[in-house]
Every structure is written in structure tokens, then in C-alpha cells.
């Protein structure tokens, strides 16, 4: 059998077995089956432990895996083949010889929305979705719409926002990433029921768990940190639109790279929260409802915040040197010419000269250059400039502290590469188990804010005083929105740093008073419990 059309062709493979080629959404030709042994390959697409009587095949190809699936799961009584190409669906259906199994076909011939082309009696509570990975790779957007429609079939649309004043059921996309455990503890402290959806089993597995959770748990909210757990095809976001369940995303890092990859969640279902308000215009320009939400402290760190002899230091800095492959990987993504090298030098200089307004300063320098970067090249060029400037900024600051008893915790090889073998550089410390003890054991904890943060404060500003440590930090605009003057010790720049450090080192009583006030402020206003309460309040607010 050989059928053909412009974007799909069925033809013999290397050993005579039929295969199929399609021209996918990106214009590239892709084989949907092995050219040598499609039967053996099909075994990897067979689902196991199927309890549902209905299977929805999301992409069928020629259907090599479908008879194998029926043989392994005799309880299946109904098949729905969702296939972009009608001739492939017909070929797959022809290979199903079990007359006791009901077979229905949904193809790409209809212009109707996916939900309107599916059998009306489908219910996501009683079906299993079986993706065909090659089909999804070829036409990710087409299948994404059907994936979301099938995964939410039979689920009535909920309210557009979770109601305030009651305990919520929150699905939390979890993968052990920064801030996730702290957010979960904060939500639980407020009395909300949090159900973790582990996304580390892959996108298809995550969608399957979400499908089941929508049925069993009837959630009020889906929560993600830095868009972690959201698939690159946009299925999860579309599921939220179809069910009316809001999606809250808290960015605790620069959103630029995150927003540049994959399909973005639908603005109609999504609210963004950003740790630095400088990025609000960027995400609002994409149509998202957005709010500023600073970082916070996790009170459970206090359990490990006991002075330890091995961590004692006069001045401590916990952090990575940034001397690694990171900058080299960024550098591979944009052209290196005399003009771009000169522009990089000018961009780094502008960032350092205009802290607090550094992103706008960098954009002005780039715009005036006339260099025709592609969108991706520009993204990596900016990232390289910001991180290069951060490395130079921190190096200049730390160099001023070296003569006064500075100890590095973390990345000893990197710090020694910068400052030489004679420095006191100690091994990495575990954030939860050891870093609190470093803060509590140091006379002065030094902080320098990454230059990707024009206005916000970083994690140390909350963690150090929480753990009973004294913090000396650089000036950031948000600092004074979060603390009073007598709760913070800050330096104005490179030339001011050593003088301020020596001043506070000579005055332990002053350090203790500032630390005590800062700690009270953190516990009263800057815990994850307070941040999660503010997030939910803003989510329910009518403003944009």
C-alpha cells in the first residue's frame, strides 16, 4: 500500500516494512517509524498497567503499537485515534482486527476547535491518553490542542479565580527546584491543601498526573516557580484555560530566558509574579497580568543556625565565583567580531556605571550600535554582558575585603583562579543544613547583588538576619521598601565597602542591635507564609 500527499507519504522502509514521512510544522521532514524494524520500535510505545476501558491514541502513525497495546490490555473496549493525517489513521484502523473493540477516528480535516471534534461522551476520568512521540514531535501545536482537550474532557469549567477566605486545593509543580519547598510550606502554614505534581518524569507524565488530579482533587489553583513543570507545547496552559483554573507563576530569577523558550502559557489563565519589578513592563507587554513579589525567608532555616567552629570567620561570602563554563556557553550563541567585542565592553561599562538602571542602560547601548543581532543572539549577548558585569562587580568588591579576613564558602577552585592560592576558600556548603551555620558563625556576612536584579534584593538579605547573622549589603531600591534604615547595614559602592566593613567589625554591639531588628522584621513580614498570602490576595484582586 502506498498513499501520498504533499505533507504525508506512506512508503517501504529499508527492509520492506511500511513507514511514513510527514512534513512537520517546522517544515522539516520526519519519519514516524523505524526504517528497519518498526515492530520492535512499537513496543516502546505500548502503555502498561492500563485499567481504563478507553484509550485515546494521540497520534497513531501507521498503528504498529496499537495491536500490541490491545494484546497486552484485554480490558480495553474503545479506541479513539487522534491523527493529523487521515490516511495514517485509516491505515492504523485497518490493522485493528479485534471486532469487540470500538474504533473512532479524529483527523485534521476539520477546522473546528479540538474539543468539538472529539466524541461528545469522552470523559477524562475514564480514559488513558497514549501519545505517539514521533507524531507529537512533527506537529506539536496541532497535538497540543487535542492533548489539552482530551485531558480535560468532561470537566466543567470552573470559576476564573480561586475564591478568597477559604482553604484552597493547590496543585504545585514540583521538582526540587529553588524556592519550591519553601513556597509549599508557606501555603500549608496558611491552611491550604497542597498537592505536589512531580514534573521530573517528563512532560507527558506530568500532563497525565495533572489530568488525574483535575478529576480527583478538583483544584482551585496551579502553581509554578519559574514556569518549571509547564510543557513546551502549551498543553498544561490550555488545560487551565479549558477548566477555568488559574495558573500562578512566580519568577525568582530573570524571566528573559524562561519566556524565550517553548510555548508560553495563555494570558487568559495566567498571572505572573516577579521578584524584581524592573521586568514588569516586559511581561505586561506580552499581555500578562503581573505583580511584583519579593523573595522571602524560610523560618525552618533557624534549626541549623547554630555557630560552628569550622565555619567561624571574620568576613564570609557564600557563593560561586561564576568562573565556569557558564559564560563560555553564553559566548557561543552570538557572533564575535571587533564590533561586538567593542559593544560588549561598552555594555558592561554602562551596566557598572548605572546600577539600578542597568538593564535600560544596556539596551540603550545595544540600540545605538546598529548591529543586526537575531532575537536569540541578542538574548545571549545581553545575558553575557549582565553576568560579565556581575563577575567584575563582585571581584572588585571582594578584592577590597581580602586584607580584612575574608573567607569564601563554595567553589574554592574558582575563587583561587581569581585571587590566587593564598586565600581562605572552603568547600561548598549545603543550603539548608550548613549555610545557616555559616551565617551564624561569621562576624560579618558580605552580600553583593547580581546585576540581573536592578531593584530587588536577593536571598541573603532575608536569610542572614533570620539565622542571627550580621549582613553588610549593597544598596538596592527595594531594600528600603522592605526594611527600615536601622535594620540594615549597607555600603554605597566599591570605595565605601572596606570602610563600612571595618566600622561594623569594630562594633559588635551595633551589629547585634541591627541584626535583632532585621530578624524581627523578617519573621513578621518577610516569610514565605506572608509571601504566599500576598500572592493569593493579588491573584484575587481586580487590578492588573
Mean pLDDT of 467-492: 97
Phi then psi dihedrals of residue 126, to 5 deg? -130, 30
Lowest mean pLDDT among 154-158, 221-225, 344-348: 154-158
pLDDT at 324: 65
Question: Which of the four pLDDT bands, split at 50, 70 and 90, describes residue 163?
Answer: low
Q: How far is it, in rounded angstroms, from Cα 413 to Cα 415?
A: 6
CA geometry: angle 317, 320, 323, nearest 5 deg: 130
Q: Where are the beta strands (DSSP E) in 24-113?
A: 29-31, 54-58, 78-83, 102-107
Q: In what order do the strands lie in the sheet with 4-5?
A: 4-5, 8-12, 18-23, 29-31
pLDDT range class, residue 2, cuts 50, 70, 90? very low
Strand order in the sheet with 54-58: 102-107, 78-83, 54-58, 127-131
pLDDT value of position 156: 72
In 73-199, which ranges are continuous DSSP H helix? 86-94, 114-117, 133-138, 140-151, 180-189
544, pLDDT greater than 80:
no
Give the CA distances from residue 278 to residues 339, 357, 359, 477, in Å, rounded to whole numbers and listed in that order.
29, 9, 8, 11
Percent of the chain with pLDDT over 90: 89
Enter the C-alpha cell of residue 532.
504566599
Cα separation, 352 vs 5, whole angstroms: 58
For residues 399 and 10, give the distance between their C-alpha atoms in angstroms, rounded to a whole number.
Answer: 67
Confidence band for 158, pLDDT divided at 50, 70 and 90: low
Banded model confidence at residue 541, pLDDT cuts 50, 70, 90 = confident
Cross-strand pairs, 491? 474
Looking at the chain, the number of H-run helices and the number of E-run strands are 22, 20
- What pLDDT is stored for residue 260 in this prediction? 85
pLDDT of residue 329: 87
- Residue pLDDT, tens place only, 326-353: 788 889 999 999 999 999 999 999 999 9
pLDDT confidence of residue 227: 96
User: 103-117, 187-201, 323-337: which has the minimum mean pLDDT?
Assistant: 323-337
Judged by DSSP in three states, 3 sits in: coil
The neighbour count for residue 113, using CB atoms within 10 Å, is 11
**In this predicted model, what pLDDT tens digit does every residue of 396-443 receive, in sequence order?**
999 999 999 999 999 999 999 999 999 999 999 999 999 999 999 999
- For the stretch 271-275, contacts whose Cβ atoms lie closer than 8 Å and that sit 24 or more positions apart, written own/partner, are 271/246, 271/247, 271/538, 271/539, 273/248, 273/249, 273/535, 273/538, 274/250, 275/250, 275/251, 275/453, 275/456
- Model confidence at 261, pLDDT cuts 50, 70, 90, reads confident
In angstroms, the CA 107 to CA 278 distance is 46
Q: What average pLDDT is seen over the chain?
A: 94
Strands 8-12 and 18-23: antiparallel
Give the containing element (helix H, strand E) for 156.
none
Contacts of 69 (CB under 8 A, 6+ apart): 46, 47, 50, 55, 76, 130
Distance CA 378, CA 374 (A): 6
Torsion sign, CA atoms 506, 510, 512, 516:
negative
Structure confidence by residue, pLDDT tens digits, 263-280: 899 999 999 999 999 999
CA distance 383 to 339: 18
Per-residue pLDDT, 4:
43
What is d(CA 238, CA 526) in angstroms, rounded to the nearest whole number? 33
* Closest residue by Cα to residue 80 from 69, 71, 72: 69
CA–CA separation, 50 and 59 (whole Å): 18
CA 394 vs CA 77, 253, 320, 463: distances in Å: 65, 18, 11, 20
Give 23-78 pLDDT, tens digit per residue.
999 999 999 999 999 999 999 999 988 999 999 999 999 999 999 999 999 999 99
Q: How many CB atoms are located within 10 Å of the residue 429 CB?
A: 17
How far apart are the C-alpha atoms of 538 and 544, rounded to whole Å?
9
Q: pLDDT value at position 328?
A: 84
Domain annotation for the chain: domains and CATH numbers:
4-151 (3.40.50), 169-296 (3.40.50.2300), 299-526 (3.40.50.2000)
What sign for the dihedral angle of Cα 534, 180, 228, 192? negative
Taking the C-alpha atoms of residue 473 and residue 451, their distance in angstroms, rounded to an integer, is: 14
Q: Is 402 exposed, middle or buried (0-12, 13-18, 19+ CB in 10 A)?
A: middle
Kindly provide the residue ranges of all beta strands, DSSP E only, lying in 441-527, ordered along the sequence.
Answer: 442-446, 471-474, 489-491
Is pLDDT at 176 greater than 70 in this prediction?
A: yes
C-alpha span between 544 and 541 (Å, rounded):
8
Confidence label for 142 from pLDDT (cuts 50, 70 and 90): very high
**Residue 412 cell numbers, joined:** 574554592
Q: CB–CB of 106/118 below 8 Å?
A: yes
Q: What is the pTM of this model?
A: 0.92
Q: Which three cell numbers stand for residue 7?
A: 505533507
Distance (Å, rounded) from C-alpha 147 to C-alpha 56?
A: 10
Q: What pLDDT does 257 receive?
A: 87
Beta strands in 199-264 (DSSP E): 221-225, 247-251
Residues 36, 59: Cα–Cα separation, whole Å: 21
The pLDDT score that the predictor gives to residue 1 is: 38
Q: Calculate mean pLDDT across residues 452-479.
A: 97
Backbone phi, then psi, for 240, in 5-degree steps? -70, -40
Q: What is the mean pLDDT of residues 380-394?
A: 94
- Of 93, 90, 36, residue with least CA distance to 70: 93
Amino acid at each position: 500500500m502506498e498513499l501520498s500527499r504533499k505533507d504525508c507519504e506512506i512508503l517501504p522502509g529499508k527492509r520492506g516494512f511500511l513507514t511514513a514521512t510527514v512534513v512537520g510544522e517546522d517544515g522539516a521532514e520526519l519519519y514516524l517509524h523505524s526504517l528497519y524494524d518498526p515492530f520492535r520500535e512499537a513496543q516502546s510505545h505500548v502503555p502498561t498497567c492500563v485499567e481504563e476501558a478507553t484509550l485515546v491514541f494521540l497520534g497513531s502513525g501507521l498503528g504498529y503499537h496499537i495491536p500490541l497495546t490491545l494484546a497486552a490490555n484485554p480490558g480495553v473496549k474503545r479506541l479513539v485515534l487522534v491523527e493529523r493525517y487521515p490516511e495514517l489513521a485509516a491505515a492504523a484502523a485497518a490493522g485493528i482486527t479485534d471486532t469487540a473493540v470500538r474504533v473512532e477516528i479524529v483527523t485534521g480535516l476539520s477546522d473546528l476547535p479540538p474539543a468539538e471534534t472529539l466524541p461528545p461522551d469522552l470523559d477524562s476520568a475514564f480514559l488513558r491518553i497514549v501519545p505517539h512521540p514521533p507524531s507529537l514531535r512533527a506537529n506539536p501545536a496541532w497535538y497540543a490542542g487535542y492533548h489539552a482537550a482530551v485531558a480535560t474532557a468532561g470537566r466543567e469549567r470552573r470559576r476564573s479565580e480561586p475564591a478568597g477566605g477559604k482553604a484552597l486545593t493547590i496543585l504545585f509543580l514540583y521538582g526540587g527546584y529553588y524556592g519550591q519547598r519553601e513556597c509549599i510550606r508557606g501555603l500549608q502554614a496558611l491552611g491550604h491543601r497542597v498537592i505536589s505534581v512531580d514534573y521530573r518524569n517528563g512532560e507527558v507524565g506530568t500532563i497525565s498526573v495533572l489530568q488525574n488530579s483535575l478529576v480527583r482533587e478538583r483544584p482551585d489553583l496551579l502553581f509554578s516557580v519559574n514556569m518549571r513543570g509547564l510543557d513546551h507545547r502549551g498543553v498544561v496552559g490550555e488545560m487551565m484555560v479549558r477548566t477555568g483554573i488559574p495558573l500562578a507563576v512566580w519568577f525568582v530569577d530573570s524571566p528573559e530566558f524562561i519566556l524565550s523558550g517553548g510555548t508560553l502559557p495563555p494570558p487568559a489563565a495566567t498571572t505572573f509574579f516577579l521578584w524584581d519589578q524592573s521586568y514588569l513592563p516586559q511581561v505586561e507587554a506580552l499581555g500578562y497580568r503581573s505583580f511584583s513579589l519579593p523573595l522571602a525567608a524560610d523560618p525552618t532555616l533557624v534549626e541549623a543556625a547554630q555557630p560552628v567552629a569550622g565555619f567561624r570567620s571574620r568576613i564570609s561570602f557564600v557563593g560561586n565565583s561564576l568562573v565556569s563554563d557558564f559564560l563560555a556557553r553564553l559566548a557561543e550563541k552570538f557572533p564575535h567580531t571587533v564590533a561586538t567585542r567593542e559593544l560588549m565592553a561598552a555594555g558592561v561599562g554602562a551596566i557598572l556605571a548605572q546600577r539600578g538602571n542597568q538593564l535600560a542602560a544596556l539596551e540603550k547601548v545595544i540600540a545605538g550600535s546598529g548591529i543586526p543581532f537575531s532575537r536569540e543572539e541578542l538574548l545571549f549577548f545581553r545575558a553575557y554582558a549582565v553576568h560579565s558585569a556581575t563577575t567584575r562587580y563582585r571581584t572588585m568588591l571582594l578584592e577590597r575585603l581580602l586584607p580584612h579576613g575574608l573567607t569564601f564558602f563554595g567553589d574554592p577552585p574558582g575563587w583561587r583562579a581569581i585571587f590566587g592560592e593564598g586565600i581562605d576558600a572552603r568547600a561548598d556548603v549545603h543550603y539548608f543544613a550548613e549555610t545557616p551555620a555559616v551565617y551564624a558563625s561569621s562576624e560579618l556576612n558580605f552580600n553583593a547583588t547580581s546585576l540581573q536584579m536592578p531593584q530587588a534584593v536577593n536571598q541573603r538579605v532575608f536569610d542572614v538576619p533570620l539565622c542571627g547573622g550580621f549582613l553588610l549589603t549593597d544598596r538596592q531600591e527595594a531594600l528600603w521598601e522592605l526594611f527600615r534604615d536601622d535594620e540594615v547595614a549597607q555600603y554605597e559602592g566599591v570605595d565605601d565597602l572596606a570602610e563600612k566593613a571595618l566600622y561594623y567589625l569594630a562594633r559588635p554591639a551595633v551589629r547585634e542591635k541591627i541584626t535583632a531588628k532585621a530578624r524581627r522584621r523578617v519573621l513578621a513580614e518577610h516569610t514565605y507564609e506572608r509571601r504566599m498570602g500576598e500572592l493569593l490576595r493579588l491573584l484575587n484582586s481586580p487590578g492588573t
